[in-house]
Amino acid sequence: MSFLLSLSRLIDWINERVGRSVMWLVLIAVVISAGNALVRKLFNTSSNALLEIQWYLFAAIFMLAAGYTFLRNEHVRIDVITGRLSPRGQNIVDIIGIALFMLPMAVLLLWLSLPIVKLSIVSGEMSANPGGLIRWPVKLMLPLGMFFLILQALSELIKRIAFLTGHGPNVLVKHGAPSAEEELAAAIKQQAPGGAQ
């Protein structure tokens, strides 16, 4: 188990670095978007390349940060049922969800996207828009994102199994302030008949 936990820490480290790097893409996307809007308003001109780079960056942010989001336990969850389970039950549900749903889906998407990326590279696919960009970099985001998500899914499986076997902490316990979902759930609970006033 110590080797697996070391592997999990390495995967976490990789996704932490990827996620923190991707955060800079948000700033770059905002600067390009604002610059493009200013040029369009002030000079009545625009560039298809600048428009396309915005959605390329959005694709990179969304796909490359998937593993980081999972690492931080900030992905979308439906805790209506699992929130009522014991920590052990929550981890068992997560193991089932990761093993039966997330990993197969991510592996399938990775497998199916590789030929599309290869074809785009080999053919030199370009945007149909005048002055547009080459297409393979944005298509590459899907398999890269799935790769990092698969790595993180394996790491999360290791951590949950470690918890169940007494070799690690419960990674589902959030530290710090409540998430936006938890705050919303608390607000709804207060407004419900019989809720705290």
Give per-residue pLDDT as tens, 1-20. Answer: 789 888 999 999 999 999 99
Neighbours of 175 (CB within 10 A): 4
Task: Quote the CA–CA distance of 139 and 108 in Å, as a whole number.
Answer: 16
Query: Phi-psi category of 194—alpha, beta or left, where left has phi over 0 and alpha has psi -120 to 50?
Result: left
Closest-CA residue to 144 (of 10, 5, 8, 15)? 15
Q: Which of 13-22, 41-50, 53-62, 159-168 has the lowest mean pLDDT?
A: 41-50
Contact 172, 88 (CB under 8 A): no
Model confidence over 65-95: pLDDT tens digits? 999 999 988 777 767 777 788 889 888 989 9
Q: Which two tokens stand for residue 7?
A: 């592997």
What does the DSSP 8-state code read for residue 109?
A: H
Structure confidence at residue 154 (pLDDT)? 96
* Average pLDDT over the chain, rounded to an integer: 87
Over residues 39-49, mean pLDDT: 84
Regarding pTM above 0.85, the answer is no
pLDDT single digits (tens) 93-139 = 899 999 999 999 999 999 999 999 999 999 998 888 887 888 899 99
Q: Residue 100, class by beta-carbon neighbours within 10 Å (0-12 exposed, 13-18 middle, 19+ buried)?
A: exposed
Q: In terms of pLDDT, which residue wins out, 90 or 196?
A: 90
The rounded percent of the chain whose pLDDT value lies above 70 is 90
Instruction: Check: CB of residue 139 under 8 Å from CB of residue 113.
Output: yes
